[in-house]
Amino acid sequence: MDKARLHYMANQIARNLAAQGPDAAAEATARHLADYWDPRMKAALLGGGTEGLDPIARAAVDLLRAMRPVSP
């Protein structure tokens, strides 16, 4: 899946959760991505830049990066 499509999908999720407020929406978006996205989709999202992401989705990607375990 290409980066533009992944950003579009992440932005949709973030917009749907935006009514919770920016911080809660970013956390909920990150949790959704962690729980429901295929590992390949998450890797592609985290491997690319954040240009094209709305602020909540960008914050969610930052949170998702922090959630990922560090490989030995």
Helix pair angle (39-47, 22-36), 10° resolution: 130
d(Cα 65, Cα 69) in Å, to the nearest integer? 9
- Model-level pTM? 0.91
Q: Kindly give, in sequence order, each residue whose CB lies less than 8 Å from that of residue 23, ignoring residues fewer than 6 positions away.
A: 59
pLDDT in tens, 10-42: 999 999 999 999 999 999 999 999 999 999 999
Q: Where are the domains of the chain?
A: 3-66
pLDDT in tens, 37-58: 999 999 999 998 899 999 999 9
